[in-house]
A and B are shown apart, each in its own frame.
Chain A
Amino acid sequence: MASSISLTRVESGKPLTSALRIVPGVLLLAGIGYAGKTLEHSVNAYAKAHHWTFPNIEYVLWAILIGLVISNTLAIPKIFQPGIATYEFWLKLGIVLLGARFVLADVLKLGGISLGLVVIEITLSLALMTLLGRLFKLKPKLTSLLAIGSSVCGVSAIIAAKGAIDADDEDSSFAIAAILALGALSLFTFPAIAHGLHMNDVSYGLWAGLGVDNTAEATAAGALYSDAAGKVAVLAKTTRNAMIGFVVLAYALYWAGRGQAEAVTNKAAFLWKKFPKFVLGFLLMSLLVGFHAFSKGQVASLGNLSKWAFLLTFAGVGLRTNIRDMSKQGLRPFIVGTLGEILIACLTLGLVVTANRIWGL
């Protein structure tokens, strides 16, 4: 999707040239993000001054909406593309820095609960998507990709699995389009449902982290509810991301066993290769704060840096969502994805509600 903002590789060419190439796009992300932040304040101030009853629209939503409008109405010049592609870097940078805002005990407690829920969620999601794929007679490898994308971590998981199970480009494109389209929908549906159910920040954050597939969308869906929910959503989603290697390895072994993918010779090396290393940075940052390596003011500064990094990510989420391109993708994979995601959302909501009753989140 998003052919109009084709996101090209950032690291090609000489280092200085590559660095210069990303500047226009990064400035665009920053501009959109800052406009979102300014709009939040100015619209709220204007509504208050004129005694209007107006919902508080957070900067997250403004940044996404501005990005969406731009990417769906204008042809973004190529000069911006390399910089727009850096949104994932800002996401990972934001997650590592967010570690500073977590007390290690919270990471262990919530991370432990998340891990338990993630294992259940992954098992049930894989089974469900496989079943739906068979019911709708999707190609087996497309079903595998959809199952991996919806159970673990969206686009990254699909791309990681594509090479491992030797899936073709078309299947990967279908799966990625379905996951991204559903991720975009979840940005609006998850907070609305949670408000309707009066969920608390921790419960909602866990639900967003477990139920929304792509990390950027899960982070945004969490932050749309509240700052605290955004933090928990990132923690739950990061726990889910950490499982990517195990799931992809299982699928690689399955397809290799059928002679339709290369055999995995060194499983430990495979797991390490697929492991998202930024998760370790998140934990290390939390550990450093736990050992009082930073003063209270410095922790606040690190937290704010994390928010700035996320601001650029949210602008990128809007910019890469192209509704026209999504509609061009096949209908059946989309139906399977939608059905699966609705069921997974209900399932994860049930898991979180149960966990809330047991542990009082």
Chain B
Amino acid sequence: MSSDTSATTPSSNGNSLSLDAWALIVAFLLALAVRFDIFKNIPW
């Protein structure tokens, strides 16, 4: 069971900052890369 707890470990004890912070940093770095056409026309 501890496995699942650790899957969301960054949220444990309310300390969700680390995972959230990483998600925010990477998301906005990607957004910057898209904004300045470093990444163009990303397909799906």
Contacts and interface: CB of A to CB of B under 8 A. Distances in A.
A336 interface: no
B3 A7 contact: yes
Contact of B3 (A3, A89, A96, A303): A3
B10 A87 contact: no
A89 B4 contact: no
Interface string B2-44: 1111111111111111111111101110110011000111111
Given A89-B19, A281-B27, A302-B31, A297 B14 contact: no
Contacts of A85: 6-7, 9
Interface of B: 1-24, 26-28, 30-31, 34-35, 39-44
B8 A159 contact: yes
B19 A160 contact: no
A246 interface: no
Contact of B14 (A3, A177, A273, A305): A273
Classify the interface of chain A: helix, strand, loop or mixed. helix
A163 B34 contact: no
Given A276-B20, A307-B44, A160 B11 contact: yes
A176 B42 contact: no
B19 A176 contact: no
Given A96-B23, A277-B21, A302-B34, A176 B12 contact: no
Contact of B6 (A6, A89, A163, A302): A6
Given A2-B3, A5-B3, A162-B12, A92 B23 contact: yes
Interface residues of A, number: 58
A293 B43 CA distance: 20
B4 A278 contact: no
Given A5-B3, A155-B4, 17 more contacts: A2-B3, A88-B7, A88-B19, A89-B19, A93-B23, A96-B24, A156-B16, A177-B4, A274-B16, A277-B20, A281-B23, A281-B24, A294-B34, A297-B40, A297-B41, A301-B40, A308-B42
A11 B30 contact: no
A160 B42 contact: no
A35 to B, nearest CB: 16
A11 B21 CA distance: 13
A301 B16 contact: no
Contacts of B21: 277
B43 to A, nearest CB: 6
A320 interface: yes
From A6, A159, A276, name the one whose CB has the most chain B CB atoms within 10 angstroms. A159
A97 B31 contact: yes
Nearest to B11: A156
Contacts of B23: 89, 92-93, 95-96, 278, 281
A229 interface: no
A10 B10 CA distance: 9
B7 A7 contact: yes
Contacts of B9: 9-10, 85
A1 B31 contact: no
Nearest to A270: B14
